[in-house]
Amino acid sequence: MLVDCRDGAILALASTPGFDLTDIRTRYEELADPKRTPGRPLHDHAAEGWEPPGSTVKPLIGLAAMMEGVYRPGESVTTRGYMDMWQGKRVLRDHRPYDSGGTYTMRTALKHSVNTFFATLAQRVGPEKLCAWHRRFGFGVNNALDVGWQEPGILPTPATHRPWLPSDTWRMGIGQYCSASPLQLVTIAACIGNGGTIVRPYLNRDLAGRTQADHLDIPRAVLAELRAGMEAVTEPGGTASHLVLGGPAKGLRVAAKTGTSEWGSAAMRAAGQAPDHAWLIGYAPADAPTVAFAIFIRCGMSGGRGCSGVAKRVLEVWFERHPPG
């Protein structure tokens, strides 16, 4: 999906695969059965928040940590590559080559999507405040103003999920303990792109100028820290380094955050029956943002590899028709 990052106007909202309305009466059972039709065409994947968002929440975790005063812009955090040991196994490990530990700033942690960095920040923020920040950005609620078929997904809290364990806080920090939709996640990218306003997406043009929004007083240093990290994601070595625009949009830089989320049981994943979902959020142009986007590909394996091509095409077409400036 694509929105105007300044006020949340929905510019594009799409879900594939689709279906022919004439097939509903004769093929409904087939279309509704995920085993027979894996793409789940009866569902609007852009507006139904039933999948874990993965690492796309990390800019939100960074924002919460800095706004709560538990992380200073530019601060370095040293990790050991995992959060704890349990029965001889490492709990919440980083992906290679970062699983041996290291020292990271917000910029490098976003660029390489270092799990332990954001799990550590989530732990510093604490579960109650962490969940409150998620709610503020529309998690667990229908955040769009007029998308009547939106589904809110699940936002667990210490009050609703007891006992709340330290590992639950860590998993919240990497987007594996809640569920969300592109319609919700796009607000993270839009807020960082527009300088601190949490927009509420809308379809009806008559709502322009009358939308509700939550304005955050984000210090300049905090905003600069997050923007630098998201811009680094599309630079060489970043998790979405292939997201380079061409054609009339050549030279316009994109700021982004990838997400690769696990789902299903451990047995399903071990058997190859639950390939990772792919996510990507961001905004463009990076230096003067006008649009924000969120992309989800079910079982897309990798946010960077799976979604970058889609974002590239959408943004190239948009800026060809609507040149910035």
Helices and strands of the chain, counted as H and E runs? 10, 11
User: What domains sit in the chain, N to C, each tagged with a CATH number?
Assistant: 2-19+43-321 (3.40.710.10)
Convert the pLDDT of each residue in 238-284 to its tens digit: 999 999 999 999 999 999 999 999 999 889 998 998 999 999 999 99
At 211 the pLDDT is 77
E strand map for the chain: 2-4, 10-12, 77-79, 82-86, 89-93, 102-104, 197-199, 213-215, 255-261, 277-284, 291-297
Provide the token pair at 252: 């316009």
pTM of the model: 0.96
User: Is-contact 245 316, C-beta < 8 A?
Assistant: yes
DSSP state of 209: T
Sign of the dihedral through C-alpha 288, 146, 187, 210: positive
Greatest C-alpha distance within the chain: 60
pLDDT band at 24 (very low <50, low <70, confident <90, very high): confident
* ω into 289 cis (within 30 of 0): no
The per-residue pLDDT for 70 is 98
Report DSSP letters for 10-76, one per residue. Answer: EEE---SS---GGGHHHHHHHHH-TTTSTT-TTS-TTTB--B--GGGGHHHHHHHHHHTTSS-TT--
